[in-house]
Amino acid sequence: LFRGPIEHHARGRLARGLAYVWAAQNVILAAGTFRRIQMYIAYSGLTQLRIVGIFGTALATLGLAIVVYKLWRRRTMLWVMRRQLDALAIAVAVFIVMPSDDLAMRYNVARIADDQYRPLLHLYEQPIRDEAVPALLPLLDHPDPVVREGVAVIVAAQRDRLYGKERRADSWLDFELARHRALRALDGAAARLAEVMPRNIGDARARLRGIAYGINDEVERAGDEGPFDWRTRRYAPRDY
């Protein structure tokens, strides 16, 4: 494309200019997509699907940059296909080895510890995978007893699930590093978990679930930047 006789044709030069305009429009579209994902993360926290969205948008932007480089340096379409396949392979490899669930949980836990309770919703709406379980442990020291006890119930349930998988492991082929590390972290926090564990497990679970689902409605009325006052059970704007 844009090579040979067409390269010096007046309409060919026009087509090349229009191609650059098209590329610029797509860059703006990619920036808007990144911004929308950032808004979702800022509102209610990070999920694996949002990480996939970041990777996908970044990969599409990189593919566009490869096309622009092709136009600028007069590369062939075969070169473009090879470079885009290279980019896809690298992106897939990075995503496979990246602990995305652990990263998402750590981000959400940090938000909750900073009195931003909206990410609590993901404890119920998103699966908690083995690698993400240790990231929950800092919430056992949260000053809010509803969060502290509710998370203790969730952690205990995850511990039972992990031990169940461990008992069903019959050979070394069933070994999972994420499960092993999670159980080791849970064993280290066993004393604190026993101390925090509420007597009425069902009530603690229901109270945290109520906060997790109810807070997302209340924050829309109070504003995005307000911390949650767990003593009054209300979201209030920050004092600046």
Domain boundaries along the sequence of the chain: 4-98, 101-231
Alpha-carbon distance of 189 to 181, in angstroms, equals 13
Query: pTM above the 0.85 mark?
Result: no
Q: Please report the pLDDT score of residue 2 as a whole number.
A: 47
| Helix, strand, or coil (residue 228) | strand
Residues 91-103 have pLDDT tens digits of 999 999 999 999 9
Which DSSP category does 199 fall into?
S
Contact 67, 80 (CB under 8 A): yes
Residues 152-192 have pLDDT tens digits of 999 999 999 999 988 887 777 677 889 999 999 999 999 99
